[in-house]
Structure 1
Amino acid sequence: MTTHQAHRRRPVVWALIAVTLAAVLGGLTAPAALADPAPSGGKLVLVLDSSGSMAEPAGDGHTKIAAARTALSSVVTKLPEAAEVGLRVYGATVFKRTQAGACTDTQLTVPIGTANRPQLQTAIAKYKPYGETPIGYALQQAAKDLGPVGQRTIVLVSDGEATCAPEPCAVARSIAQQGIDLKIDVVGFRVGGKARTQLQCVAREGRGDYYDADSTVDLEAGLGRLSTRAFRPFRISGTPVHGAPQQEGAPVLAPGHYSDTFGVDNTSKHYLIKRTMKGSTLRAGVSFRRPAGGSFVIQSEVRLNTLAGEQCGWSYPRGFDGDQGLATGTAASWSKYEKKNDECADSDQLVLTVNPGKNYLQLKGVPYELRVDEEPPVDSIANLPAAAADPVWTPMSGSTPREIVPGSSFPDAPLLQPGTYKTTLMPGELQLYRVKADWGQRIQAQMTVPEMAGAAADALDGIRYLDTALISPTGEDVFAIFAKNVPGGSYTKAVLTKRGLVKGLTTKEIRYLNRNGANNQDTGTSTPGEYYLAVSLTRKANDKAFTIPLNLTVGVVGTAGAGKPEYVDGATPVSGESVTPSPTETPSTTPSSTPSEPGDSGDKNQAGGPVQGRADSDDGTPVALVAGLGGGGVLLLLIGGLIVARLRKKPAAAQWPQSNNWGGPQGPR
């Protein structure tokens, strides 16, 4: 055997709302490392109901129109300065449907722009209830306001059913055909029955979110969060490429970061991956947003083959359990089985195939990312630590929480300094963060929701589920299923009630020989780099626009660099984030942005207070808490038949498909 073969209705305290909105919109002062990321160039148009029914009570001592003015004024104040925003109203100038122009009564009162906050506030102050409800026509005009390209969002606020043609749901469906970069979010203000059903349909067909609001506070919360999302939408990054329908003529890709789009049918897309080092391990990760309203069973496939058709590795991506769900999968060329002629390990090129699967219609035109990493073979495995055993949770002391703005896709997931952080989570929202970890380390993440009372407890409405994930740099599900002493149990899903919760999640220690394991918790922790933490709160059909408080404490346990392999000829791994090899620098492996001082042993606590307990890894490596927080996408994949067997008596853990990087299918867990 050669060496490379051995390798988350009623008013609440205004102060709390102000803090929540400020945190969400980045209005609070924060250290540079926590700075609110710049808007990603998207556009937002607020489409507001100015029909006569807005003069009705809002249920909290205000009229609907007064509530809308209050909420809108607060939200506009906290929008990022560089955000492009406009305001369109409907039903504002024609009183009766029998009058000419009633069903085309909509005006862009403030054109979309950045330096228009005074104009927005003036228009909001003049906003009055008056006429009919031409929702469909107003949506058509809003789509024109936004233009044909870029990330575009319509946020519709309505208190009733449309009184004019065209039918809003059909209009939303038509608008959605303009591309995945355009979506329609909806806040239904004290609506019910047919009106509510209609507005929900608008959001569903417009690939957006729907929330109910019964008060000024509800409306402010919903508008605040939806407006924030408009400028942090799910984004696909990477150099654009165009996969071929067959192997012949496929583009040749070096290790790097790319983007492409699913086609109109179930035809696969092919790419040739150029190996730059003989005997290296190639890993190809595919990630995309699971379309809203579609099946959780994506049935797409990512596969690596030799030019002759020999299968090297494959996986089935599947969406994370959330309305903002992602999907991801990773295939690798590595095989733990010895072969005389291993073309998967030695050939100059491999074929990467991405297939949308049987449910290809829901992926039609959906963009995806491709990340290709290449790791050199090692000189020897003789002195490398054995594959990591199931970890034991190390208690973490939290520090004073600092505000954090979460990411909504892999590219904008924040990488933070060590510590404890606080944010808010809305039902159906997916939040992503990044964490750096080195050889010899493992990631711990603890999510805490305090006990709730009043409006938050009422809105929670019984039991919810907090879904979590830890994801490898190339998209493998890496939470340690059988970790011991994990707060809330070693599963990815936790039950949330008004009493709150504490939920922990950890990986195995990162070791080279984890690649020989049977499951992603092993193979996904065989390289260092930036890992991702994903958090989502399940939603219900009758949800109000509410948020829950969430604290995150993240630590990296272990000695940085322990068990680092020596690569052949001093070669350096080439990742999709850093595509130029360097003979003197390793890829992102430092657990924080502060370099270690000479003499540092790594046996330090940098993640939020003293270590309350101490445990040793199975090879005797001392543990320490150092940290980096992160997130990034969310997508859990099926774990193998072995795991299924072990979890047969634990159905709560049987949730996701997990990829198989060594050549055969794995069953559900």
Structure 2
Amino acid sequence: MPAITPRILAGLTACTLALTSLSSAPASAEPEPGTKQTRKVHLIMDSSGSMAEPTGGGTTRIDAAKKALHSVIDNTPDDTELGLRVYGSHDNPEGSPESCKDSDLVVPIATDNRDRLRTEVDKYKPVGWTPIDHSLREAGKDIGSPGEDEQYTVILVSDGEETCVPDPCPAAAELAEKGIDVSVNVIGLNVSGKAKEQLQCIADKGKGEYYDVDNAEDLEEALNQAAKRTGQGLTMSGEPVTGSPTPEDAPVLEPGTYTDTLPANEEPRWYRVPRAMAENTLWAGGFIQNAADRGYALAIRWYHPNDLDDDCSWDKSSTRGGDGFNLGGVAVPSVSSTFTTACTEPSDELLLQLSLDQDTELPVQFTIVDEPAVEDPESLPEAASSPQWQDMPEEKADGDPLIGGASLADAPVLEPGSAHPINLTRGEVQFFAVDLDWGQSLQAQASMEAGENIYMHWSIDIYSQFGSPSGDLGTESFGNLNDGVTLKNATPEVRYNNRGEVGARGQTALPGRYYVVVAGGDADENTSLNLETPGTLQVDVMGDAGTGEPTYREAEEPQPGPDAPRPEGEQESDDGSSGQNWGLIGGLAGGAVLLAGLGLGAVWFLRRL
């Protein structure tokens, strides 16, 4: 088997990403890996006649709103786009068609409009009525079709209930459905009863927050809070499948990445997995979110079709991560030195069983890899020891923050020895990817800057290409971030004979793509609006690539004829064959269907590498 070179890695990565587009499309587009999301905040302000009434703090509601708007304009980062729509600014009879369409886009959403915003804020006067439904629908037109890298926050400020339609909540729901990152936050100023219930409904249907204020100071604080961004949580990707409750009816799954929903209380789900060669090792690894705070959660078992009474190999996951971000993952080979069982016997397929030790059903993402048998595994290096941290001087990276992915599939790939500025909010989780070869280990360090009254459970973890925990030196911080905090983690060296070992060593038995995950505490908080906490993420790879690389047995696949096209620059070897990068194929699972699923064409491509 040839060494994994940057060219091979790039080629496999490109093919893997191409396969992602062949799988089922998500309901909403996701940002490209590492793309910085464009923040867009659209303000919808009340200029109805009741805004002339007094509010707490010795001022009128309209003056309090203007002061709060100036504060938002001054405090919002320059790269955040702001827009302003005003309703109720014209003196029309109540209930008239004109009053129910009294909503004007006075400043379109943009970045270079701060002076114009200030001018328009000072202009508007409280004279009209409260057409909230129409204003929300017009705001939808202002937004249009959000791009995949755009996060929209609509902020509605009102001191009363809708005056034109019975229920404006459906308009808020339609607005929130425009994209994965569109939310409607609502500020109720001196409201109660039906008006308050209506505004709370708008925030709920709009996937946003509701703020109840009754004075000028609270209004200013709420408006600034509502303009902050929300954090991203974990997402899953893969081909949706439904496992069978019994092995007899199990669906056939080729190597690839899948999603399913596992029932509660250890009720099993079965799948049939073909082997390319009868003695190959099959890997299955997966993860769940929101597992129990302690104990085991996801169980993976392999069975030989001739013996369904005893599993060949199995393992259970334990939860990892900070408060709320509990990622339970594990990867299990069908054969290893730990398990001397029926799965060592040749067969064209094995049976895979997944189950959940939880009292509620949960979604699962899992990956299957078919690894050929190895020549003389006893001659390979023994299992790696636990990692020893190698000094990484703290750096502060400059430039725009690198936005981590929300899953394995969209994590940006980082170069060894690099440092990147990052931003996290409370409850947020971000994924970053680093490629490892045989004989290499990964170190990751996140230095989060000090912030006033930032109280959360920070953590840094490393996961394998399957989503199983592979870091063995994780540090966490719980409490105020008044002095800043440095988080560290590292993997054992990637070795073939790590398989079957306990903990992180058993999860680092294949080369490929590993994932650094930085989390900002309780995942339940990631829908709240929070200040961003800046920091620097550093990653490095230790060890010489290719050390301890195994020799895989050749698969007897049909070869293309002499006139078949070959990748540019590639020549057939003297003996007409070459090795396969099976370990790396598994490492590039990352939410895409594996290359093995493409059939002979992909197999031939890999053989030419």
Q: Classify the TM-score, shorter chain.
A: 0.5 to 0.7
Alignment of 1:131-142 (within 5 A): none
Distance 1:355 1:246, change over 3 A: farther
Secondary structure in structure 2 of the residue aligned to 1:468: strand
Q: What residue is the counterpart of 1:579 in the other structure?
A: 595
Per-residue CA distance 1:50-98 (angstroms, 9 max, x = gap): 356573437xxx61233345567945549xxxxxxxx795744577996
Residues 492 and 508, structure 2, Cα contact 8 Å, conserved in 1 = yes
Residues 239 and 257, structure 1, Cα contact 8 Å, conserved in 2 = yes
Q: What residue is the counterpart of 2:440 in the other structure?
A: 441
TM-superposed CA distance for 1:561, in Å, is 1.8
Q: What residue is the counterpart of 2:418 in the other structure?
A: 419
Residues 75 and 220, structure 1, Cα contact 8 Å, conserved in 2 = no
- Which amino acid counterpart does residue 272 of structure 2 have in structure 1? L
**2:342 pairs with 1:341:** yes
Unaligned runs of 5+ in 1: 1-34, 79-86, 482-489, 589-669
Q: What residue is the counterpart of 1:67 in the other structure?
A: 71
Per-residue CA distance 1:149-173 (angstroms, 9 max, x = gap): 999976232456763497899998x
Cα distance in 1 for partners of 2:427, 2:381 equals 41
Distance 1:476 1:154, change over 3 A: same
- Which amino acid counterpart does residue 342 of structure 2 have in structure 1? N
Q: What residue is the counterpart of 2:460 in the other structure?
A: 468
Per-residue CA distance 1:510-555 (angstroms, 9 max, x = gap): 2222212122x12111111111111122369898732222112211
TM-superposed CA distance for 1:235, in Å, is 5.1
- Which amino acid counterpart does residue 186 of structure 1 have in structure 2? N
Residues 512 and 565, structure 1, Cα contact 8 Å, conserved in 2 = yes
Alignment of 1:74-89 (within 5 A): 74-77=78-81, 89=85
Secondary structure in structure 2 of the residue aligned to 1:342: helix
**2:528 pairs with 1:524:** no
Cα distance in 2 for partners of 1:296, 1:97 equals 59
Residues 41 and 80, structure 2, Cα contact 8 Å, conserved in 1 = no
Secondary structure in structure 1 of the residue aligned to 2:509: coil
TM-superposed CA distance for 1:300, in Å, is 6.4
Q: Which moved more, 1:62-71 or 1:472-481?
A: 62-71
**2:384 pairs with 1:401:** no
TM-superposed CA distance for 1:476, in Å, is 0.9
Q: Which moved more, 1:328-337 or 1:556-565?
A: 328-337
Cα distance in 2 for partners of 1:221, 1:151 equals 22
Q: What residue is the counterpart of 2:300 in the other structure?
A: 303
Residues 430 and 534, structure 1, Cα contact 8 Å, conserved in 2 = yes
Distance 1:340 1:535, change over 3 A: closer
Which of 523, 526, 533 is the aligned partner of 1:548? 533
Per-residue CA distance 1:491-510 (angstroms, 9 max, x = gap): 34455531112222111222
Q: What residue is the counterpart of 1:252 in the other structure?
A: 252
Q: What residue is the counterpart of 2:371 in the other structure?
A: 375
Q: Please, what TM-score do these two structures have when normalized by structure 2?
A: 0.64
Which of 462, 471, 484 is the aligned partner of 1:500? 484
TM-superposed CA distance for 1:178, in Å, is 7.3
TM-superposed CA distance for 1:355, in Å, is 5.6
Cα distance in 2 for partners of 1:158, 1:446 equals 40
TM-superposed CA distance for 1:571, in Å, is 4.8
Cα distance in 2 for partners of 1:496, 1:399 equals 22
Instruction: Select the structure that is richer in strand.
Output: 2
Per-residue CA distance 1:319-341 (angstroms, 9 max, x = gap): 85467776655444245444353
Residues 430 and 518, structure 2, Cα contact 8 Å, conserved in 1 = yes
TM-superposed CA distance for 1:565, in Å, is 2.0
Structure whose alpha-carbon radius of gyration is higher = 2
Secondary structure in structure 1 of the residue aligned to 2:499: helix
Residues 272 and 352, structure 2, Cα contact 8 Å, conserved in 1 = yes
Secondary structure in structure 1 of the residue aligned to 2:505: helix
Per-residue CA distance 1:473-502 (angstroms, 9 max, x = gap): 101112215xxxxxxxx5344555311122
TM-superposed CA distance for 1:271, in Å, is 3.3
Secondary structure in structure 1 of the residue aligned to 2:374: coil
Q: What residue is the counterpart of 1:225 in the other structure?
A: 229
Unaligned runs of 5+ in 2: 1-31, 52-60, 555-578, 597-601
Q: What residue is the counterpart of 1:480 in the other structure?
A: 472
Which of 138, 152, 155 is the aligned partner of 2:153? 155
Distance 1:352 1:265, change over 3 A: closer
Secondary structure in structure 1 of the residue aligned to 2:154: strand
Per-residue CA distance 1:107-153 (angstroms, 9 max, x = gap): 595999xx988999989975657467777886688789889999997
Distance 1:277 1:398, change over 3 A: farther
Cα distance in 1 for partners of 2:392, 2:160 equals 53
TM-superposed CA distance for 1:437, in Å, is 1.8
Q: Please, what TM-score do these two structures have when normalized by structure 1?
A: 0.59
Distance 1:472 1:236, change over 3 A: same
Residues 71 and 216, structure 1, Cα contact 8 Å, conserved in 2 = no
Residues 278 and 347, structure 1, Cα contact 8 Å, conserved in 2 = yes
Distance 1:43 1:389, change over 3 A: closer
Residues 284 and 331, structure 1, Cα contact 8 Å, conserved in 2 = yes
Residues 438 and 545, structure 2, Cα contact 8 Å, conserved in 1 = yes
Q: What residue is the counterpart of 2:574 in the other structure?
A: none
**2:277 pairs with 1:277:** yes
Per-residue CA distance 1:608-641 (angstroms, 9 max, x = gap): xxxxxxxxxxxxxxxxxxxxxxxxxxxxxxxxxx
- Which amino acid counterpart does residue 375 of structure 2 have in structure 1? D
- Which amino acid counterpart does residue 500 of structure 1 have in structure 2? G
Residues 304 and 353, structure 1, Cα contact 8 Å, conserved in 2 = yes
**2:395 pairs with 1:388:** no
Cα distance in 2 for partners of 1:269, 1:149 equals 38
Residues 67 and 215, structure 1, Cα contact 8 Å, conserved in 2 = no
Cα distance in 2 for partners of 1:244, 1:108 equals 56
Distance 1:515 1:398, change over 3 A: same
Secondary structure in structure 2 of the residue aligned to 1:434: strand
Alignment of 1:90-109 (within 5 A): 91-93=87-89, 99=95, 109=105
Distance 1:445 1:182, change over 3 A: closer
Residues 372 and 552, structure 2, Cα contact 8 Å, conserved in 1 = yes
Distance 1:359 1:439, change over 3 A: same
Output the aligned Cα RMSD: 5.6
Q: What residue is the counterpart of 2:429 in the other structure?
A: 430
Cα distance in 1 for partners of 2:93, 2:107 equals 26
Cα distance in 2 for partners of 1:319, 1:196 equals 40
**2:343 pairs with 1:351:** no
Q: What residue is the counterpart of 1:50 in the other structure?
A: 46
Secondary structure in structure 1 of the residue aligned to 2:64: coil
- Number of positions where the alignment pairs a residue of Structure 1 with one of Structure 2: 511
Per-residue CA distance 1:559-604 (angstroms, 9 max, x = gap): 222222222335542423552466896999xxxxxxxxxxxxxxxx
- Which amino acid counterpart does residue 379 of structure 2 have in structure 1? N
**2:545 pairs with 1:538:** no
Cα distance in 2 for partners of 1:152, 1:118 equals 17
Q: What residue is the counterpart of 2:21 in the other structure?
A: none
TM-superposed CA distance for 1:289, in Å, is 6.1
TM-superposed CA distance for 1:395, in Å, is 0.5
Cα distance in 2 for partners of 1:276, 1:116 equals 55
Per-residue CA distance 1:261-282 (angstroms, 9 max, x = gap): 6799998654322222333332
TM-superposed CA distance for 1:394, in Å, is 0.8
Distance 1:408 1:134, change over 3 A: farther
Distance 1:337 1:288, change over 3 A: closer
Residues 91 and 106, structure 1, Cα contact 8 Å, conserved in 2 = yes
- Which amino acid counterpart does residue 184 of structure 1 have in structure 2? S
Per-residue CA distance 1:327-386 (angstroms, 9 max, x = gap): 6554442454443533698551323446695323xx5xx6x5432222222212322222
Secondary structure in structure 2 of the residue aligned to 1:412: coil
